[in-house]
Amino acid sequence: MTPGKRGALARLAAATVAAASIAVTAATQAAEAFPSKPIRMLVGFAAGGANDLVARAVATRLSTRLGRTVVVENRPGAGGNVATEVVARAAPDGYTLLLGSVSSIAMGPALYRSVPYDPIKDFAPVTQAVTVPTLLAAHPSLPARSLADFVALARRSPGKIDVACPGFGSIAHLAGELLKRTAGVDFVLVPYKGGAPALADVMGGQVGAIMSVISTPAPHVQSGKLAGLAVTGRKRASILPGVPTVAEAGFPGYQADGWLGFLFPHGTPADIVARMQREINTVMALAEVHAQLESVGMTIDTTDTPEEFQAIVRADVAKWKKVVQDARIELK
For the chain, the domains span 36-132+257-327, 134-231
Strand (E) or helix (H) holding 224: none
Task: Give yes or no on whether 36-132+257-327 and 134-231 have one common fold.
Answer: yes
CA nearest 54: which of 135, 165, 128, 133? 128
Q: Is the pLDDT of residue 275 over 90?
A: yes
Supply the pLDDT for residue 49. Answer: 87
Supply the pLDDT for residue 330. Answer: 81
pLDDT higher for 9 or 191?
191
CATH architecture of 36-132+257-327: 3-Layer(aba) Sandwich (3.40)
Q: Which CATH class is domain 134-231?
A: alpha beta
Supply the pLDDT for residue 12. Answer: 55
Q: Is the pLDDT of residue 297 over 60?
A: yes
How far is Cα 207 from Cα 43, in angstroms, rounded to an integer? 33
Phi, psi of 44 (to 5 degrees): -85, 15
Supply the pLDDT for residue 114. Answer: 87
What's the number of CA atoms in the CB half-sphere (13 Å) around residue 221? 27
Mean pLDDT confidence for 85-103: 97
Mean pLDDT confidence for 256-277: 97
- AA letter at 27: A
162-166/209-213 β-pairing: parallel
CA nearest 123: which of 100, 102, 103? 100
Write out the DSSP string of 11-51.
HHHHHHHHHHHHHHHHHHHHHHH--SS-EEEEESS-TTSHH
Give me the percent of the chain exceeding a pLDDT of 90.
83
